[in-house]
Structure 1
Amino acid sequence: MDLQISVFLLFILFTAGHSLSCYECMGLNGSCADQKLKTCPSGSLQCESSTAVVQVGDITSKVKAKDCASDCQSGSMNLGTVKATGSCCNTDQCNLQDAPDPSNVPNGKTCFSCENRTGQTCTSILSCSGTEDRCIKATVNFEGQSVSVKGCASKSVCDATTSVSGIVSFSCCEGNMCNGVQSVSQSFLFLCCSLLSYFLLH
């Protein structure tokens, strides 16, 4: 009996004291060569790895990152000038491999994206790629201003429950270019048709 209690207490001690360990790095030159092993804080249940490709004009840069995460979703997002993929796992040191580079293979889906930093012009048509099967629309606080962001995302990114600092609103939809201003355009068109029929019939 005493042996069983001792074994039970030892098991509780080991399971309560075990923390997840993940690799951590921030590779601004497209490589995570200097990754280090890190014991995650309590509440971190997953290890994550991400790869982002930023293209401004002819300049392309790649950023790779790894860390612990409290809530993480594998998937990809494409905002036109920024493409990112993320991989999540939940065992010790499981994020040793880098997240894959974002896919460049179009999947036939199209969404609106914003082509300027202020987010005022969001009429560019973006070809989605890989697993990106949703259109997204978000409002982000950036340097004290609200900026519109639009693009493509995987369903898993849309299903994520994590709230991200600086994001005021975030929504996803299915269907080509469903993240645009079609509802406003349709309302405007309906209003014009109503006015036209009123003048023609009266």
Structure 2
Amino acid sequence: MDLHLSVFLLFVLFTAGHSLSCYECFSSTGSCATQKSKTCSSGFSKCISVFAVTKVGDISTKAIVKDCAPDCPSLSMNFGIIKTSVSCCNTDLCNVQDAPEPNTIIPNGKKCYSCKGQSCSNTVSCTGSEDRCITATGNYGGQSAVVKGCVSKLICDATALVPNVPNVEGIVCCEGNLCNGAQSVTQSFLFLCCSLLSYFLLH
């Protein structure tokens, strides 16, 4: 075989694009007992781990999701009824550890208003990197919906750059304790929280 061709083939072999491998799992019990590795598709350059705690009335659920992601920052959100932490990394199988459980992240001293039912006068304690208060308004089935709470600055930056979040009509972030107002609303929906969360994880 020609020496030049051999050298070229070796070069191609060693410089071929490396596909990232990440762990994949979904658990609604708060523990990924079985997680399998997968090769990420082209354009997915991060491994992600999400830990969400939802509390509606006396019912509390914990969910963990791990997968490949196109891009994602590590962040957290607290809307009162749902708290979420997200960890991202960019090396093979780096999402072996779960994202931190939101209830275990240390409060940072900031507080924001949150909504429960028709009242948005409840307050939540922000944790970790949650340095902004947020108010998101939307419409679902002809009914208005509002969610309020604490978010990381990265979420506010993302919504400013790409404002078209499904089911969400407006997002306002602010700095300072309780800066997102306590006005009552027509209704507050869990779906709006889920729309926000899924949008930030997939874009």
Q: Indicate the TM-score class for this superposition, using the shorter chain for normalisation.
A: 0.7 to 0.9
2:120–2:182 Cα contact (<8 Å) kept: no
Contact kept in structure 1, 2:48 and 2:66, CA below 8 Å = yes
1:123-138 alignment, distance < 5 Å: 123-138=121-136
- Give the alignment of 1:1-202 within 5 angstroms: 2=4, 3-12=6-15, 14-15=16-17, 18-102=18-102, 103=104, 105-116=106-117, 120-143=118-141, 145-160=143-158, 164-180=165-181
Structure 2 distance, partners of 1:147, 1:108, is 28
Q: Residue 181 of structure 1: CA displacement?
A: 6.3
Distance 1:140 1:20, change over 3 A: farther
Task: Write the letter of the residue equivalent to 1:10.
Answer: L
Change (3 A) 1:22 1:166: farther
Task: Give the SS at the match of 1:180.
Answer: coil
Q: Structure 1 residues 156, 141: closer, same or farther in 2, change over 3 A?
A: same
> Aligned partner of 2:121: which letter?
T
In the aligned structure 1, how far is the partner of 2:116 from the partner of 2:42? Answer: 40
**TM-aligned CA distance change 1:77 to 1:169, over 3 Å:** same
CA shift for structure 1 position 45: 1.1
TM-score, scaled to structure 1: 0.76
Per the normalisation by structure 2, the TM-score is 0.76
1:193 aligns with none
Q: Aligned partners of 1:145 and 1:71: how far apart in 2?
A: 32
Task: Report the AA paired with residue 131 of structure 1.
Answer: S
Q: Give SS of 2:154's match.
A: helix
Question: 2:169, 2:73 → 1: CA distance?
Answer: 20
Q: 1:42, 1:19 → 2: CA distance? A: 7
Q: Could you say what secondary structure the match of 1:122 adopts?
A: strand
The Cα RMSD (Å) is 2.3
Report the alpha carbon displacement of residue 19 of structure 1 after superposing the two structures with TM: 1.8
Which letter maps to 2:109?
G
Which residue in 2 is equivalent to 1:194?
A: none
Q: Which runs of 5+ in 2 are unaligned?
A: 184-203
Residues paired across the two proteins, number: 176
Percent identity between the aligned chains?
56
Listed as ranges, the gaps of 5+ residues in structure 1 are 183-202
Highest relative contact order (Cα 8 Å, sep 6+), 1 or 2? 2
Task: From the superposition, tell whether residues 42 and 135 of structure 1 become closer, same or farther in structure 2 (CA, over 3 Å).
Answer: same
Find the structure with the greater CA-based Rg. 1
Deviation at 1:52, TM superposition (A): 0.8
Whether contact under 8 Å (1:52, 1:64) holds in the other structure is: yes
Residues 87, 104 of structure 1: alpha-carbon distance in 2 compared, 3 angstrom cutoff: closer
Q: Secondary structure of the equivalent of 1:95?
A: helix
Supply the distance in 2 between the matched residues of 1:46 and 1:140 (Cα, whole angstroms). 30
Cα deviations by residue, 1:77-136 (Å, 9 ceiling, x for unpaired): 1001111100000111111110011145432211111112xxx43222222223221101
